Structure 1
Amino acid sequence: MDKKETPLTALHTGATVAETYRAAFEQFPDRVALVLPDGSHWTYAGLQQRVHRMARALQALGLRHQDGLAILTGNRPEALVVLIACAWLGLRQTALHPLGALDDQAFVLQDAGIAALVVDPRYAERGQALQERGQQEGTPLRHVLSLGPSGLDDDLSAASAAHSGAALPIASRPEDIYRITYTGGTTGRPKGVVHRHRTTLTMTLQQLAGWEWPEELRFLIATPISHAGGAMVLPTLLRGGTLVLLDGYQPERFLQAVQQHRITATFLVPTQIYGLLDHPGLDHWDRSSLRYVLYGASPMAPARLAEAIQRFGPLFGQLYGQAEAPMTISYLRKDAHDLARPERLQSCGRPLPGNQVRLLDPQGQEVATGEVGELCVRSPLVMEGYLNRPDATQEAFAGGWLHTGDMARRDEGGYLYLVDRAKDMVITGGFNVYSSEVEACLALHPAVAQSAVIGMPDAKWGEAVVALVVLKPGASATPQALMDFVHAHKGALHTPKLLRLEPQLPVTPLGKIDKKALRARFWDGQARQVG
């Protein structure tokens, strides 16, 4: 038979994200898929019908296969419908964070070739500003659409309600670009991370196989569905679970939602967990339904993690990934969160099946067990590359590996330990100081809620270790006492040369401590400015 008629590439092609959503919809049509803010709910079949209506509304606007669509919304049900409809039609989806700067958002729309922008009504003013900016700069943006009544001309929610919810053929193809995710940007403009359908499908299969889902699954999404929170949607639906969206995280609202909806699983970033631990009303709410708390996106101080296990129980599982290989590079199981083995609390777990992980030195050679090297990955999980950035892509893929930029070591049991981002390492007097080690030490002090350690210019040492510290509510400690504490536990090399007490630390839109903003205080005008 002619090879062209039955190409091997087609023989081994996987499904699309939309086909995977459809499998969930058809498997559990009568179950509750989503609880709405007013207490009502959508079934799986009802969610599917809304996706079909939304997809037809987008088609009616003239959007076609592989056009770019961006969203600027909070955690609202209609936004979830838009994201699934994008997968159905084979549109390229890109998220804008509500806290992002206008210039950065305008750059993303231009760089990703976005044809339509969908906004929450509360962001209508920003949407209009982006539309005007696009008209001035000649960008591809043709539509700015609102999810509800607003000052904008087009109400996408109303338009979709007028369309049929009958079954609609899936237009996406496995080789399509599924989404373009923009990194926060450490220096210069953010980079667009290109993912095809295989990335999300690989991530989903690894989530289902490697994570420890409770049998009765009611998942509270407390982080943006446009970012990390969205990665929890598909695996929850494939397990027949129910989603509850929290639009805007606050400890009190989170605890109320857990109690009200008998939440069994959730995902939080470390700063959110710190907020719960320091919340005076934590023990006033019923948390007995919780069976599983995933956490990740940034390192968590082991002392605070131990405190969380003591307060919540052995519910925690740590995920590790990055924008270029999302969510499932490695995983630390619940039973590895063992207070009798406190060193394990510093680990991000073992690689999940399907991933090759190596720790490489600058020459591309694997380092010995216990030695520090850059964590590098090969996997179907890895991105396609950076959009319009061939040099950056080549650098990231040097030697045939994804170079994560994370420095790590591996122990005899195969557990990985992130010691720092490569750019966060402080080189002082020719010695390497990993900021995470100093932060973990400070977290052992009973007065410390959280800290950030950076390097600042120093004429003698090249860089000096600086610590910015937030104290727990009602606690007190002097900078000198905290510096002495580090000296006693870690020695002179790791002891900050400067320690400042701060009312709070700046965070990125995704809830990570913003070390770029902190460095700007000390590196302004200096030659070595890193992100």
Structure 2
Amino acid sequence: MSGQEMNAMSGIREVTTLATLPALRSQRLGPKAALIVRDEPLSYDALERRSNQAAHALRREGIHPGARVAVLGRESLDSLVLLFGVAKARAVYVGLNWRLAPEELAYILEDSGAQLLFVDEESAALVPRVFEKMRGPLPVVRVGAPLSAPGAFAHWCEGAAPTPLDMAYDPEEVVVQLYTSGTTGRPKGVLLPHRSFLAISHALEAHGECWIGWTEASVSMLFVPTFHIGGLWWLVRGLALGSTQVVLRSFEPATILSSLARYRVTHTCMVPAMMQILLGEPGIHQADLSSLKAVVYGGAPISTALLEKGRRLLGCDFAQIYGMTETGNCAVCLRPEDHQNAPASRLRAAGRPFPGVQVRVLDEQGHEVPPGTIGQICLNSPARMAGYWHQPEETQKTLVGEWVMTGDAGYVDAEGFVYICDRVKDMIISAGENIYPAEIENVIRSHPEVADVAVIGVPDELWGEAVKALVVKQPGSTLRAGDILRHTRGALAEFKVPKSVEFTEGLPRNAAGKLLKGVLREPYWKGRERRVN
């Protein structure tokens, strides 16, 4: 790390909690823009004052340490101020996925024991339907609403002091409760202490690594929702560094391009599917993207073709991160230097561990396996969760000592690079062979006429399960099933080659960009007691 970069990062280790972050940054950066939402800036000074007011208002409302406060809606200055107000009140922030159905939202509100619900204008109409499915309604405050609106956040905060509460804060205390996507069974509330959002940043600085060149002078853009660990972690890291965060309320390629130029954005993050869409936006060839220094992607590997297109059109570095809510977001990274002149096989790696993170791979008996052998990936990260809310048995299954059992199947090579093959539960067993769909997807995705792909196991009376590929073509493509089969046969063992290929207009994904494999499997396994053969 250069001396200039070290100076720009200095002080991040003094930020040990979300509660103290605004005050520490406002002391030095006062009038600098901390947040820009809907083209409205909020300075570090204002973030400190307004989050103090929110904390006092929460206490006035009867919210005491450990109480759950739920937030439903897209990002606004109000909702982001509230995050730090909740932290200052020593309460717990419960971010709700606004794409969920009323029944799912009702379950999370009741499971969390939320005492207060903050909701934006777009989600307000959903609230009565949610309350109908609960034992009773909650008090509601409107975020992102004008002062004149009934129950508006600004009006709710009126009269509250802009000074700090007289409280001490512990990095080990839970500050956020995020719910897993719930693609299988009921969602679980992941308990995240303050350190989950700051430990990796501290380790990077201690190790002398200015990750992707992100410093106080940077301007980052966020359009991943903050009810997802990736979006929330990205937001907190940027603020802890003292940089400016441009927060968009949704993924809109045209708005992203114009905002990149307008605010001279240097860093952003997305999933490869988002990148594919952004790079296909008609205005990208005219957009001024000269300020962009790095794009971080996650959720899936990147194809060589997409990486090369990104380099050509965006002209910046790329880094991949891997982690999960239970690990406090990223634990492993394929750094920019790992992308340079890398063979295609290296681009399929998730990367190497961040400083302070350990990785091991276990077989079904819990024994560590040698390099190159597939097993369950286990991570020991200083940012790991404290456990699952009110689910001690599930906690014991996932958090074994200091190790998070990820449920991902993969291996570590001789150089320490981690490769993710698939979710353990997504493994296809065909004729006694264990098949990992992600490996097949990586090969199919490398075909230049493939825009997206998902591989699933479908029932087969002879072999138990058969490999099926669901493929989205590039616009104008005349791709046929035989082309896909020939392409895979050149790179995969015969038993891994799909037995059928189906073309589709699109694939279902959650807000984090993750494929909803359960949705894809449902038509083929419907009516069967077991979802594997």
**Do they superpose with TM above 0.5?**
yes
Q: Distance in 1 between matches of 2:451 and 2:347?
A: 17
Counterpart of 2:104? 104
Q: Are the equivalent residues in 2 in contact too, given 1:338–1:344 (CA < 8 A)?
A: no
Q: Distance in 2 between matches of 1:71 and 1:207?
A: 31
* Letter paired with 1:160: C
Q: Are the equivalent residues in 1 in contact too, given 2:294–2:317 (CA < 8 A)?
A: yes
* Match of residue 161, structure 2, among 150, 160, 164: 164
* Letter paired with 2:284: L
Deviation at 1:375, TM superposition (A): 0.8
Counterpart of 2:19? 18
Q: Distance in 2 between matches of 1:133 and 1:362?
A: 41
* Letter paired with 1:179: V
Secondary structure, aligned partner of 2:429: strand
Counterpart of 1:362? 364
Deviation at 1:129, TM superposition (A): 2.7
Q: Are the equivalent residues in 2 in contact too, given 1:267–1:293 (CA < 8 A)?
A: yes
Counterpart of 2:530? 528
Deviation at 1:17, TM superposition (A): 2.4
Secondary structure, aligned partner of 2:75: coil
- State yes or no: 1:83 paired with 2:66: no
User: Which range moved further: 261-270 or 59-68?
Assistant: 59-68
Q: Alpha carbons of 1:172 and 1:102: their partners in 2 closer, same or farther (altered >3 Å)?
A: farther
User: Which range moved further: 430-439 or 457-466?
Assistant: 430-439
* Match of residue 145, structure 1, among 116, 138, 141: 141
Counterpart of 2:7? none
Q: Are the equivalent residues in 1 in contact too, given 2:257–2:287 (CA < 8 A)?
A: yes
Q: Distance in 1 between matches of 2:398 and 2:359?
A: 15
Q: Alpha carbons of 1:214 and 1:382: their partners in 2 closer, same or farther (altered >3 Å)?
A: closer
Q: Cα deviations across residues 50-109 of structure 1 (Å, max 9, x unaligned)? A: 111222222222212211001112121111001111111111111111101111111111
Q: Distance in 2 between matches of 1:88 and 1:21?
A: 10
Counterpart of 1:116? 116
Deviation at 1:361, TM superposition (A): 1.0
Deviation at 1:203, TM superposition (A): 3.8
* Letter paired with 1:112: S
Deviation at 1:185, TM superposition (A): 1.5
Stretches of structure 1 that go unaligned for 5 or more consecutive residues are: 1-12
Counterpart of 1:177? 174
Q: Are the equivalent residues in 2 in contact too, given 1:306–1:339 (CA < 8 A)?
A: no
Secondary structure, aligned partner of 2:141: strand
Deviation at 1:213, TM superposition (A): 2.8
Q: Distance in 1 between matches of 2:203 and 2:312?
A: 29
Counterpart of 2:389? 387
Q: Are the equivalent residues in 2 in contact too, given 1:271–1:512 (CA < 8 A)?
A: no
Deviation at 1:192, TM superposition (A): 1.2
Q: Alpha carbons of 1:60 and 1:251: their partners in 2 closer, same or farther (altered >3 Å)?
A: same
Counterpart of 2:500? 498
Q: Are the equivalent residues in 2 in contact too, given 1:338–1:345 (CA < 8 A)?
A: no
Deviation at 1:178, TM superposition (A): 1.2
Counterpart of 1:8? none
Counterpart of 1:307? 309
Deviation at 1:400, TM superposition (A): 6.0
For residues 223-234 of structure 1, the aligned pairs below 5 Å read: 223-227=224-228, 228-234=230-236
Q: Are the equivalent residues in 2 in contact too, given 1:448–1:469 (CA < 8 A)?
A: yes
Counterpart of 2:187? 190
Deviation at 1:15, TM superposition (A): 4.2
Counterpart of 1:417? 419
Stretches of structure 2 that go unaligned for 5 or more consecutive residues are: 1-13
Counterpart of 1:322? 324
- State yes or no: 1:31 paired with 2:32: yes
Counterpart of 2:125? 125
Q: Cα deviations across residues 309-353 of structure 1 (Å, max 9, x unaligned)? A: 343335111111101102231111101012343322111111112
Q: Alpha carbons of 1:475 and 1:150: their partners in 2 closer, same or farther (altered >3 Å)?
A: farther
Q: Alpha carbons of 1:484 and 1:341: their partners in 2 closer, same or farther (altered >3 Å)?
A: closer
Q: Distance in 2 between matches of 1:28 and 1:150?
A: 28
Q: Alpha carbons of 1:266 and 1:106: their partners in 2 closer, same or farther (altered >3 Å)?
A: same
Q: Distance in 2 between matches of 1:108 and 1:204?
A: 30
TM-score w.r.t. structure 1 length?
0.91
Q: Distance in 2 between matches of 1:151 and 1:521?
A: 49
Counterpart of 1:50? 50
Secondary structure, aligned partner of 2:328: strand
Deviation at 1:195, TM superposition (A): 1.9
User: Which range moved further: 334-343 or 496-505?
Assistant: 334-343
